[in-house]
Amino acid sequence: MMTEIRIVSRGGQGGVTGAKMLAYAGHLDGKFVQAIPKYGAERKGAPIFADVRISTTHVKTHAPVITENTHSWIVLDPSLIQTIPLSKLSQDTLIIINSQEYPKSLQNENKLRIGKVDAVKIARECGLIKSGTEMVSTVMLGAWVKATNMVSLESLKNAVKHQFGDGELTDANIRSIELAYSQFEFI
């Protein structure tokens, strides 16, 4: 069993680090994992994505996730919904969006499972702001865990600890995960 997740974000939002943390959480749960950042020449602010695979056996593929097979899309910036090739998605694909409200462009997509969380708000609440940008990636991971239960909340928190070490930043991120976990809702 292999689960493929794509995190869609803008340079600077923490999407790549988020992918690593998610993979790490899977790793702590005893799964085989992979985190693939898609590198380009893009700079801060440009759209980028990173893929995560969580599997019960060693992952042999190295390619970016295949659209049809992707289990979940975690979208860190609502303006990036347009980059998702909706028509190619399979039945029940999960899309989690950082957004206050239900995105209009998805209103008629009934083969998908769509959820949202106001990650910007949570990030601000928790003080997760760097150079003026809200760091929403851990928030979004918290929401995804709530939605899927595919890694344990505990492991995700430990992954955050592993990433940021002990200290305020970790505390803030863990708090944000908890908030997201409680505030996430399917639409």
Which residue lies nearer to other proteins by CB, 30 or 165?
Answer: 30
Q: Is 1 in the site for other proteins (CB under 8 A)?
A: no
Rounding to the nearest 10 degrees, give the CA dihedral for residues 2, 75, 89, 5: -10
Q: Determine the Cα–Cα distance for residues 144 and 54; give it in Å rounded to an integer.
A: 13
How many Å apart are CA 138 and CA 21, to the nearest integer? 8
Q: Contacting other proteins (CB under 8 A), which of 1, 39, 85, 168?
A: 39
Which of positions 145-174 make contact with other proteins (CB under 8 A)?
none
Which residue is associated with the tokens 């689960």?
Answer: 3
Question: 12 phi and psi, to 5 degrees?
Answer: 105, -15
Binding mask 121-140 for other proteins (x = CB under 8 A): ----------xxx-------
* Tokens 């209009």 belong to residue: 104
Exactly one of 5, 7, 8, 24 binds other proteins (CB under 8 A); that residue is 24
Is 144 an interacting residue with respect to other proteins (CB under 8 A)? no
Which of the stretches 42-50, 83-91, 145-153, 164-172 binds other proteins when contact is defined by CB under 8 A? Answer: 42-50
Backbone angles phi, psi at 53, to 5 degrees: -120, 135
Q: Which residues contact other proteins (rule: CB under 8 A)?
A: 10-11, 19-20, 23-24, 27, 30-37, 39-46, 58-64, 66, 79, 131-133
